[in-house]
Amino acid sequence: MKKFFLFDLDGVILNSMPYHTKAMQQACFISEINISEEIILNNEGAITYELLKEIAKNSNVFLTKEKYFEIINNHKKIFIEKYAKEVKPYYGILELFYKLKSYDKKLAIITGSDKDIVDVDLPKEISNLVDVIITADKIQYRKPHPQPYQKALELLGAKKEESLAVENSPTGILSAKNAGLYCIAIATTLPKEKLSLADVVLGNHSELANYILNVHI
């Protein structure tokens, strides 16, 4: 039985990854860099300077750190201005959160998004149920580093063996596993074979709810 449930945000709670992908591609295009949807989804929440610098070479662009941060800021601006209003929670996620709270479970969100994005796209009806939210700008190391999950465990006062994580990307799974957590992956944005490092891989939110409530409560 688990007491603490730690959820990724984009692609797990919110259907936001297609919009983040468009915003990142548009932000890169402004700087004459082409970046594929596959790269963005495989590296969700972890588009580092080193990664984008290598991608930029394919577009014959030398990426400075200044230009990198300009792209990151443009991504956030484009997402907030053009796409945030389109983002919705996945069907069934709110009901799952209510059910977990009815069993007196503690909930956390661990996201690769910054707080200013979370503030505009996470509905209050969900955030009000959550005990801890870890955003990328509030920690030193982003996923796949274990620090985001380690920080959440610390703030929750949770033991690893009493906790589980829910993720949808290789970087998120690595972060959770490196923190010593049992990890469920959900194939919302990538095929199941890309998520094989997780302990369990599920196909949709109905399977996720059934699995958590029947196995871990």
What gap in Å lies between CA 176 and CA 170, rounded to an integer?
Answer: 10
Residues 103 and 208 in one domain: yes
Residues 211 and 197 in one domain: yes
**CATH number of the domain within which 55 lies:** 1.10.150
Is residue 147 very low, low, confident or very high in pLDDT (cuts 50, 70, 90)?
very high
Residues 30 and 132 in one domain: no
Residues 9 and 45 in one domain: no
Q: Which CA distances in Å does 31 have to 2, 26, 189, 195?
A: 46, 9, 26, 31
Count of structural domains, the chain:
2
Last residue of a domain, one of 67, 85, 103: 85
Residues 22 and 105 in one domain: no
Does the structure show a pLDDT above 90 at 112? yes
Residues 52 and 103 in one domain: no
CA distance between the termini of the chain = 5
Average pLDDT over residues 192-207: 97
Please report the pLDDT score of residue 60 as a whole number: 95
Please report the pLDDT score of residue 45 as a whole number: 81
Please report the pLDDT score of residue 177 as a whole number: 98
Last residue of a domain, one of 32, 66, 85: 85
Please report the pLDDT score of residue 209 as a whole number: 98
Does the structure show a pLDDT above 90 at 121? yes
Residues 21 and 126 in one domain: no
Measured at the CA of 164, the angle between CA 157 and CA 116, to 5 degrees, comes to: 75
Does the structure show a pLDDT above 90 at 196? yes
Please report the pLDDT score of residue 46 as a whole number: 85
Please report the pLDDT score of residue 109 as a whole number: 98
Note the pLDDT tens digit of each residue in 32-88.
Answer: 999 999 999 999 888 999 999 999 999 999 999 999 999 999 999 999 999 999 999
Please report the pLDDT score of residue 63 as a whole number: 96
Please report the pLDDT score of residue 185 as a whole number: 98
**CATH number of the domain within which 182 lies:** 3.40.50.1000
Is residue 171 very low, low, confident or very high in pLDDT (cuts 50, 70, 90)?
very high
Which residues form the domain of 178? 4-15+87-215
Residues 36 and 124 in one domain: no
Average pLDDT over residues 120-141: 96
Residues 81 and 137 in one domain: no
Please report the pLDDT score of residue 39 as a whole number: 95
